[in-house]
Structure 1
Amino acid sequence: MSWLGHLTLDYRRDGERTTAHDRHDGPLRVLQRLYPEGPEVCHHVLVHPPGGIVGGDVLNVQATLAEGTHAVITTPGATRFYKSSGATAEQSLVARVADGARLEWLPLETIAYRGCKAVNRMRFELAPGAEMMGWDLLALGLPAANEAFDSPDHADAFFTQEIELPGVWLERGTVKASDHRLLDSPLGWAGRRVSGTFWFATGSAMPNARRQQLLDLARTHIDALPADAPCVAGATSTHERAVVVRALAARVEPMMGLLAAIWADWRQHGWQVTPCPPRVWKT
C-alpha cells in the first residue's frame, strides 16, 4: 500500500505574533505550534507517523509565509527512504515567502537506504524582501552501521535531489548506487557517504559587504576543522542573492555540528537574532 500525504502550512502575522494554520491529508502533519523564543518566531516540527517513505509513496508540503512572519521548520528525526520493490518514492516542498518574511528550513538528515528509488524536490519562491536559511543533509546507506548504499536485487538504486530558487539557483543531481566513479573518486564524493548543502538566500541582491560577511563567518568554522577532520567543506557565492556551503563527511554528526555552528553565526550576524536551536535536535 502506498501512502499519499499532503500538508499545507499557512503562516500569518497577528500583531507581534506569527500564527500558523495547517491542513493535512494522509500521514503527514505537524506538532503544535511552539514559541521558545517569543511570539514573533513560530517553530514547527513536521512528523510522518509511518516512520519512513517507500516506493510509491508521494508526500507534498506547501508552505506560505505572509509578510512579516518568521517560521522555523524542522523534523523530530531522520527522513528515511526505504528499499523499493519497483516504484519511486517522492517527496516535494514548495515554499512561498512574502516581503519581510523569514523562513528557516532545517530538517534533520535524509537517509537513503540500500535499494531505495527516491526523488526529493525543494522549491523556494522568495519575494523581493524575503530571506531564508535552509539546509539539506543526505546520508547514503547507514555509514555508522557500515550498511552500504547499494542494490541488493540488481535493480539500480538511486536518489535524485532537486533544489530550486527561481531565477537564482537550480540544481538536479542523481546518485546511483552503481556509480562508483562519482561516489569514490576524489573529484566526487571521495568515498564519503554524507553530503550537506546549506544556504542563505534573499529575494533581492545582497550588498557585497553582507555576502562577504556571511562567507567569512562560514569559512571561519570551516578553516577551524582539524586536518584529520571527518568532514570537509567550502563556502561560495556565485550569485548576489545566495551564499552556499557544501560539505562531505563520513558520518552525519560532524557535518550537523559544522552546519549548526554556521547557522548560529548567520542567524546572529545576518539577522541579529539570537540562535535558538529546536529542542528536537537534542533528542
Structure 2
Amino acid sequence: MGWQGHLDLHYRHDGTRTTALDRHHGPLRVLQRLYPEGDAVCHHVLVHPPGGIVGGDELVVNARLEPGSHALITTPGATRFYRSNGPLAVQQVQAQVAEGARLEWLPLEAIAYPGCRVENRLRFTLAPGAQMMGLDVLALGLPAAGEAFGRGSVTQQIELPGVWLERGRLDGDDTLLLQSPLGLAGRSVLGTLWLADGQALPRSARETLLDAARALIDGHALAATAGVTAPDESLLVLRVLGERVEPVIALLHAVWAAWRQQHWQLAPCTPRVWRT
C-alpha cells in the first residue's frame, strides 16, 4: 500500500469574509491560509510533504464552496509523479461550487518522470451562478537532465459535468503521438487554462474574453502552439504546447490575470508562493 492522503476543504461566506475549514488524513494538508487581497478571498496553499507521488499512492482533494465564498487554491511547488514498478498512482480533485461562489484552481506544474503510471482526475461541479478559473500544466520527462518520457503513462481527465469532459492518455512509447506534427511534435509541456460559469455567458462577454486572450497569445513566443476557443456558451479553454515549463506557465498566468480583471473586476493577486 502506498500513501493515502485525503483533504476536505469547506468554504463559507461569513459576512464579508470567506472562512475555511479543513480536515486531512495522511500526508496531504493545508500549508497556509492567507488573505493578501482582503477578507473576501481565501488563498489556500496545499502541500504534500513526501514531495512526490509514486505507484500505489492516492491523493484526494474534496472542496465545497458555499454561496458567496471565493477560494484560490494553489501549491508551493511542482507535483512530481515518480517512476512506478507496476501500481498506479492516482490524484483526484473534486469541487462543488455553489451559486455566487468562485473558485480558482491554480496549482503549479505536474512533472511526469519516465516510468511513472499516473491517473490525474479533475471534476468541478458548478451551480447556476457559480464561477471558476482553473489551470493544468503537465511536463513529460526531465529534458534538462536528458531523460525523455520514453516509458510510462499518464491519463488526464478534466470534467465539468454536462458541459466539458476530456480524457487523454499519454504513453511514453507512443512516438506517433509524442513526435508527430499532428500530435505534440516533440514538445513535452502541455498547458490548459479554462474559465467556466454555471450558466451561459453573454456572447459579447465571451468575445471580449477571447479577444483579450488572443492579444496576449499573439505577442508571446509560444503563439504558434497556443489557441483559445469557446467550446460551450459557458466555457472558454486555452491550450498551449511548449518545450519548457516557464514560458507555458507565464502565458497561462498572463491570461488568467487578464480574465480575472475583465470578468470579475478583480485585480490579479499573484500568490506569494509562486515567487519563492
TM-score range, shorter chain: over 0.9
| Aligned CA-pair RMSD | 1.0
Task: State the TM-score, normalizing by the size of structure 2.
Answer: 0.98
Q: 1:278 maps to what in 2?
A: 271
Q: Distance in 2 between matches of 1:123 and 1:14?
A: 26
Could you tell me how far 1:231 is from its partner in structure 2? 7.0
Q: 2:104 maps to what in 1?
A: 104
**Mind listing any 5+ residue stretches in structure 1 that lack a counterpart?**
152-156
Q: Which one-letter code corresponds to 1:149 in the other structure? A: F
Q: Distance in 2 between matches of 1:5 and 1:225?
A: 38
Q: Distance in 2 between matches of 1:110 and 1:231?
A: 23
Moved over 6 A (4+): none
Q: Distance in 1 between matches of 2:180 and 2:227?
A: 18
Matched, 1:126 2:126: yes
CA contact (8 A) 1:104 1:134 kept: yes
Q: 2:213 maps to what in 1?
A: 218
Q: Choose which of 171, 178, 198 in structure 2 pairs with 1:176.
A: 171
Could you tell me how far 1:144 is from its partner in structure 2? 2.8
Matched, 1:192 2:187: yes
Could you tell me how far 1:160 is from its partner in structure 2? 0.2
CA contact (8 A) 2:117 2:153 kept: yes
Aligned positions of 1:1-283 closer than 5 A: 2-151=2-151, 157-226=152-221, 229=222, 232-283=225-276
Q: Distance in 2 between matches of 1:234 and 1:170?
A: 18
Provide, for residues 142-162 of structure 1, a one-character-per-residue CA deviation record: whole Å limited to 9, x for no partner.
1333321123xxxxx100000
SS in 1 for 2:199: coil
Q: Which one-letter code corresponds to 1:147 in the other structure? A: E
CA contact (8 A) 1:64 1:97 kept: yes
CA contact (8 A) 1:5 1:28 kept: yes
Instruction: From the superposition, tell whether residues 231 and 142 of structure 1 become closer, same or farther in structure 2 (CA, over 3 Å).
Output: farther
The percentage of aligned residue pairs carrying the same residue is 64
Q: Distance in 2 between matches of 1:35 and 1:262?
A: 22
SS in 2 for 1:214: helix
| Count of aligned pairs between the two proteins | 276
**Mind listing any 5+ residue stretches in structure 2 that lack a counterpart?**
none
